[in-house]
Amino acid sequence: MSEKIFVLGDSRTGTTTLHKFLKLTGISSIHYFFKQSGVSDPAHLDFDKNWQKLRAFIDKPTYNAFSDYPLRTFYKEIFAAYPNATYILSTRKDVETWRRSMISFFGKFGIDINIDELTKAYRTINQNIRDLADKHKVRFIEICIDDDSEKNGHILSDFLGLPERFSLGWENSAQAYDNTIWSSRVTFYNTKSADFLSYVKGITGQSKAMLSEYGWAYLINDSSEFLDYCYGNKRWSSKNLDAAKGTLQQRKDILAKNGISYLKFAIPEKQIIYPQYLPKIFEGHTISDQRPAAQLQALNLDFFSYPDALLKDVRSYGHVYFRGDSHANWLGAYFIYHHIVETLNATLANSGLAQVGAFNLSDLNVSLAAYAGDLFTQLDKEMRGTYNGAWRALNLGDKMEHLILYKLPESKRKARAKPVGKVYLDKLGERETFRFSHPDKRLPKAVIFRDSTSDYLVDLLAQHFSESLFIWHKGVVYDDVIEKEQPDVVLHIMAERFIVQYTHVSAFQTLGV
């Protein structure tokens, strides 16, 4: 395949769809790039200067494919400058179809257009492009976006010499737009392919953040392939389930022999609690109840908790996950904390150790906070630009939302932070490890192995233990840490998606303390 690909179709001819198709195939592509190239709009008013800017942008190694304006304005210059490039002309089945699409689309944004003048230019430039392609003998194909999308995808795949055939979507149809409805201001993914998930994963490419039409960001392309388990592309075998159960049961039994209670909490992913705000292409696809955490939950292990039903239920009290983050927000963290304390107290009921009821929500201080999120900050430039455009009235700059922050007040904080100890800092790093001490020594001692799902639980949970050590566990439990700390309780809190590793994780590992 040649080094540059130019999509020279006019507006409303599927240039967005072709751009996303190229991204799907792994080709670095950019669409409608006035701002990125520095070309002024309208480009023809300072033609020579803008052409120089455009050519300098094209010649950079950042992108191999270019579509939409300002490209089409300079089609003659591009043919002359890039004789070895690949050219794609996107069209509609007839001029009248194109005219209707132009009128409908721009009308929804209140933009007046001279459709007769634009039609004349549409016909003339399209024919000039065909003539120049023939004159220069370049690699050229014309695609009618109204033809069957699956067939078009196969034609383009063959033409581009791709190792496999990809499907063509249609993300930018005029019918999809309704500017009076916030979730209809843009369409991110649209394909007739049965394997919709591979299509979405391909378009998002290396990004781990996926934006939806509802203004929420979700995790995708993660190392655990969580969405593949959600939608049945992957599934644990009975052997996998037995291995995971065996690891957890072994851990529980060994700790029990030493008088230590073990509780495992798998915190549900946002996709499970808020599937209704996933991109619209996910609608009609049922989330599998055979994903790993759900399979373990179905075994009714008395030490394993997966509170998906709880978190779905408490959505009626307010959003419990951040819009732009993969984790539960402060309200969601409170409900998770409450669930952990209730579960812990039930476990300790006959142990003789003191129990402390969970804080009420009214015990916590309340303030308003702006939040971005781990996913929002990872949106690629194209998605971020679309978000800032479609939801510009809601734009909060580098933040995604305002919401209520719940925080334990000083007056309620009895457990105080203590030095972690050099041995743990050397092994684990200062940020990930916390130690607390509570004046009430009747309370149980605990070691809590955690990940980022517990960021807003640490301060609350620490108030229920005489001594507590919180370790960023990276998916494992360290036996020498437990032996050194001599806890009454070991809590293990982790994101649902990492449960998949329990087909091969050992019950314990050694940290070297």
**Per-residue pLDDT at 195:** 86
Best-predicted range by mean pLDDT (227-231, 343-347, 379-383, 389-393): 227-231
Which range is least confidently modeled, 226-235, 409-418, 473-482?
Answer: 473-482
pLDDT band at 350 (very low <50, low <70, confident <90, very high): confident
Provide the whole-model pTM: 0.84
Residue 126 tokens read as 């399209």
Q: CA of 71: how far to CAs of 78, 82, 182, 222, in Å?
A: 8, 13, 30, 34
For residue 301, pLDDT over 90 is answered with: yes
For residue 453, pLDDT over 60 is answered with: yes
Residue 492 tokens read as 């293990």
For residue 474, pLDDT over 70 is answered with: yes
pLDDT band at 281 (very low <50, low <70, confident <90, very high): very high
Cα distance between residue 166 and residue 154, in whole Å:
6
For residue 498, pLDDT over 90 is answered with: yes
CATH of 5-181, one of 3.20.10.10, 3.40.720.10, 3.40.91.10, 3.40.50.300: 3.40.50.300
Share of the chain above pLDDT 90, in %: 74
The residues facing 447 across adjacent strands are 469, 490
Average pLDDT in the 500-512 region? Answer: 92
Could you state, in order of their start, the residue ranges of all structural domains in the chain? 5-181, 237-369+401-503
**Per-residue pLDDT at 348:** 84
Q: What is the pLDDT of residues 93-102, one digit of tens each?
A: 999 999 988 8
Average pLDDT in the 140-153 region? Answer: 90
* Helix residue spans in 60-189 (DSSP H): 75-81, 95-108, 115-136, 149-159
pLDDT band at 205 (very low <50, low <70, confident <90, very high): confident
Average pLDDT in the 390-409 region? Answer: 92
Cα distance between residue 86 and residue 394, in whole Å:
40
Which range is least confidently modeled, 69-78, 417-426, 459-468?
Answer: 417-426
First CA to last CA across the chain, in angstroms? Answer: 55
**Per-residue pLDDT at 1:** 44
What average pLDDT does the chain have?
Answer: 92
More confident site: 338 or 110: 338
Average pLDDT in the 410-417 region? Answer: 95
For residue 109, pLDDT over 90 is answered with: no
More confident site: 149 or 209: 209
pLDDT band at 180 (very low <50, low <70, confident <90, very high): confident
For residue 171, pLDDT over 70 is answered with: no
Cα distance between residue 109 and residue 52, in whole Å:
32
For residue 272, pLDDT over 90 is answered with: yes
- Locate the DSSP E strands across 17-59: 29-31
Q: Assign residue 347 a region: left if phi > 0, alpha if psi is -120 to 50, beta otherwise?
A: alpha
**Nearest to residue 429, comparing CAs of 372, 461, 471, 387?**
471
